[in-house]
Structure 1
Amino acid sequence: MRRPARPWPRRWAWVSSGGKRQFAARPPNRTDRLKPLRNELEGSMTKNELIAAIAEDAAKSKADVSVVLASLAGVVSKTLKSGSDVTLGGVGKLSSAKREARQARNPSTGAMIDVPAKTVVKFKVAKDLADTVA
């Protein structure tokens, strides 16, 4: 025997809102509902929010700003890999530095381990930005 078809689309469900239940569209998933709240609590800005803000400020399309942002990331990584510094006016200076090989202690076992030498990225905030935020 075949089950009767639902009288409503699968994306609709009973949801609670303000203490009363109502028949409404179900959100795609739980994380989509929590994402705006999580960003407000952390005080962080996502890449898409940054692209939207720059596009609105510069009166350009989001697609154009997205291409520029991706290009900026590529140019910065190539420049840092070559050993040069990148200065972003009003934001700060990115530089690469070499860390020597060293020995460290594993906190759970107390055993000494060797940490290999590596190159890290350093960021120094511009004075204007630091004064603005402070």
Structure 2
Amino acid sequence: MIKSELVQKLSELNPHLYQRDVEILVNAILDEITDALRRGDRVELRGFGTFSIKAREARQGRNPRTGEKVPVSSKVVPYFKSGKEMRDRLNAKPGAARRA
């Protein structure tokens, strides 16, 4: 699902809200998560999962076309770990009752 599909689905589930307002809300949530990660904070959405950052060390990479070694600088990357409730819902057996 891409962001525009998420906005569309949320608009359908909340007909009392305009689609542009739903888009503003989705953007605000994603911006806050991004800002928190930029500050080095961890973001936990209960029942969904946790967003955090991980540092990757500098290393020697390889150009796949030429095989030439190239330096890859260190960087910080986002990391997501799904919550227990989400994992349980994803791995539920067919026909099993789902929790609300």
- Specify the TM-score bucket, using the shorter chain as the normaliser: 0.7 to 0.9
2:59 pairs, out of 81, 102, 105, with: 102
The within-5 A match list for 1:1-134 is: 45-61=1-17, 62-134=19-91
Distance 1:60 1:51 in 2: 14
CA RMSD of aligned residues (A): 1.6
Identity %: 34
Sort the Cα spacing of 1:118 and 1:73 in 2 relative to 1 into closer, same or farther, 3 A: same
Deviation at 1:112, TM superposition (A): 1.4
For normalisation by structure 2, the TM-score amounts to 0.78
User: Unpaired runs of 5+ in structure 2?
Assistant: 92-100
Larger Rg: 1
Deviation at 1:46, TM superposition (A): 3.3
User: Unpaired runs of 5+ in structure 1?
Assistant: 1-44
For normalisation by structure 1, the TM-score amounts to 0.60
Say which structure, 1 or 2, has more relative contact order (CA 8 Å, 6+ apart): 2
Deviation at 1:89, TM superposition (A): 1.9
